[in-house]
Amino acid sequence: MAKRNNLLIFILTIGVFGILNTEMGVIGLLPSIADQFNVSISKAGWLVSVFALTIAVSGPTMPLLFSGINRKKVMLLVLGVFVLGNIVSIFTSNFTTLLIARIIPALFHPIYCSLAFTVAASSVSKEEAPKAVSKVFIGVSAGMVAGVPIASFINSAVSYEAAMAFFAIVNAIVFIATLIVVPSMPVEERVSYGTQLSVLKKSIIWISIVTVILLNSAIFGVYSYLAEYLKTVTNMSPNTITLTLFIFGGANIIGNIVAGRLLTHSAIKTVVSFPLILGAIYSILFFTGQFTIPMAILTFIWGVLAGGIMANINQYLIASSAPEAPDFANGLFISACNVGTTLGAAVGGLFISQIGTQYVVLVGILSLILSLVTILVRNYMYRPTKQLSKSA
């Protein structure tokens, strides 16, 4: 049983890697896409921004609509849509078609990720659930961080079509593995749409959503401009910037491993201490960001906290607020993360344009201060809940 669960979680991890790889990997291909389709770089950027916006909209709704269907069939459907979308992206010569081939998979994106978290958590005991979810988050981190350099490398070494084919191959492999290895997973106790939507009446779900938006804003308000920061403030060479970004990515994976253990054994302390610790890191970074070695060390610590521990905290906050509707809750989590990412990037860009790149760190600090307030409010609201008082 343990081996089967481990294999299932591994397939889910590779699956979310393929999904996130398709989403984020295109960032490294934008210059080639602009040349290939004869569009501006800003228009090529629609492939990223429209994808993220579609996820934000479909996050709460699509997992809800598919919540009563056999989970294996739903995962195969989503993976199939991604494979077909990637194949169309390889062969089309029309930018509008390419955009549509991105939008349709984006609609289904939250379904697979939501199911991956739900299935991973339900495959183990309640106490071990955070640890199982953290393993799936390794695929999320790898897809977000490794997808860009891998796709960029294939694009420069072979071609744009080969990079898009890489996305298709990863998703196709997971499709075949899911078809052969993953057992049928019918929904034994189907929760009605009304029951799932009723979680929106709980004040704790809304304070959790606001907290997730603020935490994601704290990360991506700064991380979105990390390359620019390293270039203009730290004065790093292009090669050193690339190495530093890889350090951040590797630290993400370490953070996922650590997060599972922290949330399993000490959830409250982990959640409350997170904004305080990251705030301290940002404060040090603000004053020492011009020095290469301190910046590299801080980037590693930041990566452990940001991509790994924070992502797990975010999922935990919303999922534990609505345990009666896990699929819908995970959809809300995905949507809230995308809203936070968009908000943080927008505010970070505003800070840079108004007062300079160095001050983009203040976006993270301000967001963390606000998130600490909402976390404390959430804990106060959550404490009377007997059902989850031990883990909240």
Nearest in space to 296 (alpha carbons), one of 256, 239, 255: 239
Contact criterion met (CB below 8 Å) for 134 and 259: yes
| CATH 1.20.1250.20 for the 2-181 domain, yes or no | yes
Q: What is the pLDDT of residue 383?
A: 65
Output the pLDDT for position 73: 94
Q: Which residue has the higher pLDDT, 61 or 365?
A: 365
Q: Is 70 left (phi over 0), alpha (psi -120 to 50) or beta?
A: beta
Q: Which amino acid is at 100?
A: I
Residue-wise pLDDT tens digits, 70-109: 989 999 999 999 999 999 999 999 999 999 999 999 999 9
- The pLDDT confidence band at residue 49, using thresholds 50, 70 and 90, is confident
The amino acid present at 224, given as its one-letter code, is S
Domain ranges of the chain: 2-181, 193-388
Q: 288 pLDDT exceeds 80?
A: yes
Lowest mean pLDDT among 2-6, 100-104, 284-288: 2-6
The pLDDT of residue 386 is: 40
Class for the domain spanning 193-388: mainly alpha
What is the pLDDT, as a whole number, of residue 388? 40
**Over the stretch 140-181, which tens digit does the pLDDT of each residue have?**
777 766 777 788 788 878 888 998 999 999 999 999 999 998
pTM of the model: 0.76
The DSSP line for 316-347 is: HHHHTT-TT-HHHHHHHHHHHHHHHHHHHHHH
Band (pLDDT 50/70/90 cuts) for residue 206 is: very high
Domains 2-181 and 193-388 share a fold: yes
Work out the end-to-end distance of the chain between its first and last CA atoms, rounded to an integer number of angstroms: 29
Q: What would the mean pLDDT of 379-392 be, rounded to a whole number?
A: 54
Question: How does residue 205 score in pLDDT terms, banded at 50, 70 and 90?
Answer: very high
